[in-house]
Chains A and B, each alone.
Chain A
C-alpha cells in the first residue's frame, strides 16, 4: 500500500518542456498527454516507431517517451536507427515498457545511451520527475 501526501505543485517557473510520446496505445498516449499538459508541458504523439523516428530527425524535443513493444517498427528499432545515425546520445530518451524485459536488458539500453527507463504501469510522480531530470541533465 502506498500512502500519498499532497505533493507540492511543480514549480510554476519550471520551463515548459517539449515532449514526444511514441506509443501505439492511444489510451496510454491520451492519458500521458493529459497529465503532462496539466503540468504545463507540450506533447506531440507518434503512434508508431517509423513516425516517431521521422519526427525525431526533423525536430528537437526536450524529452522523448518511447514504448518498447510496438508492432513492426518497435522501440528497439527506433533505438537502433538512432544509434546507427549517431543520434542516440543527443536525444533524451526515456524508455517505458510493460514487457518482461530483464534488469540487465534495461541496464544495457542505458549503457548504449538511453537516458532513463520507467516500467508500466506508471507512477505518474516518478514519470514527471524522470522527465524533468532527463531534460535538465
Chain B
C-alpha cells in the first residue's frame, strides 16, 4: 500500500472526517488520496490560520478535524495556535511537510526549517518527526494521543520520509 493511502487510512480509522489543506508538493499525494474518500470532507483553505479556524468550528460541530500544511506557514499560525486552539483546548493534528531539511533543493526553505522545531517547542506543542517510512507506524497512536489530550500536535514529515524530490 502507498504511504499516502496508509496515512489517510489512519486518519479515517481515528474518525477524522474534516480536513483542510494548503497544498505542498510533498503532500500532494495525501491530498489527492483524501479526495477519493467519502469519509472525509475536504475544505481547502487560503491560509493556514484560516484553516485552523475551520478546524475549530468543525470540532465544535462534532467532526474530528486535521490540517495539512507546510512548515513555512508555522509563523502565521502562532497567534491562532495560542489564542484559539490551545486557549479553548481544541485537539488538532497538524500533518506538516517539513521543507528545508536534508535533500532540500531550495535554499530559502532552510530559513524557516531552522525555526520550525524551536517555535513548536516554545509553544509546548508535542512534535513528532517522520524521517523513515517506518516512522509512520506511529501515526495511529499520535492521532489517538491528540484526541486524548485535546492539544495541537505536530507531525513533521521531511524529504527523506517522502523519498526525496525525484530527480533533484
B partners with A: no
